[in-house]
A and B are shown apart, each in its own frame.
Chain A
Amino acid sequence: GQQLNQSPQSMFIQEGEDVSMNCTSSSIFNTWLWYKQDPGEGPVLLIALYKAGELTSNGRLTAQFGITRKDSFLNISASIPSDVGIYFCARRRGDDMRFGAGTRLTVKP
């Protein structure tokens, strides 16, 4: 019930392409977060979502909190080589924070 299903597991795209990934759960949550992990580093917060239906942008990144509060997606437009990394969704219920398995993004120049 508390497991997050993140997809796709990995993506290989050409520079300039748009990317879309999503996260679903069978439970309702108050907060959805998207993190990016560069190789050899810790995850860094990209976008935080707090309301059902909320759509938030951060540069070329756009994320939405699903209306049912059980899912979220992250879009990256016009990908560049430095977008390479692992993207994690995370959900928070109170102090409990859990992460999806990650989407590994490879961008070919």
Chain B
Amino acid sequence: NAGVMQNPRHLVRRRGQEARLRCSPMKGHSHVYWYRQLPEEGLKFMVYLQKENIIDESGMPKERFSAEFPKEGPSILRIQQVVRGDSAAYFCASSPPFRFQTINSGANVLTFGAGSRLTVL
């Protein structure tokens, strides 16, 4: 069972271009989370999605950033008109749906991908 797959691992873009980062969750996981990590900083929550639904995007910048998790295919984090400040590592994590009956269970944890490192020149 493959883990969370992110691609590309490294992406270089010039200012003004678009960046698309993909995340395929673990098999059976219906929830996807995106986090951003700036150099020397922690993990900042961006957005949380279920299939075809955005549940919480409170951490997402209001402009230029969007995320989707279609019925078929990976979740996509899209950054339009990139700027130098967008340079960061973007991590995707997945989990099965939280269920109260399995509250004391390893099912209620996130599994992370290896990240996509975006460099904006």
The answer to whether A and B belong to the same complex is yes
- Residues of chain A touching chain B, judged by Cβ–Cβ distance below 8 Å, are 6, 30-31, 33, 35, 41-45, 48, 50-51, 86, 88, 90, 92, 94-102
Nearest 7 A/B pairs, CB to CB = A42-B112, A101-B42, A50-B104, A99-B43, A102-B42, A42-B114, A95-B98
Interface residues on B, range: 20 to 34
In whole angstroms, what is the CA distance A31 to B109 when docked? 9
B12 in the interface (beta carbon within 8 A): no
Check B114–A41 contact: CB distance below 8 A: yes
In whole angstroms, what is the CA distance A14 to B103 when docked? 38
Q: Is the interface of A mostly helix, strand, loop or mixed?
A: strand
B111 in the interface (beta carbon within 8 A): yes
CB interface residues, B 28-54, toward A, < 8 Å: 31, 33, 35, 41-43, 45, 48
Check A100–B42 contact: CB distance below 8 A: yes
Check B98–A99 contact: CB distance below 8 A: no
Return 8 A-B CB contacts under 8 Å, by A number: A33-B109, A35-B112, A42-B93, A88-B43, A92-B108, A94-B98, A99-B45, A100-B42
In whole angstroms, what is the CA distance A97 to B106 when docked? 14
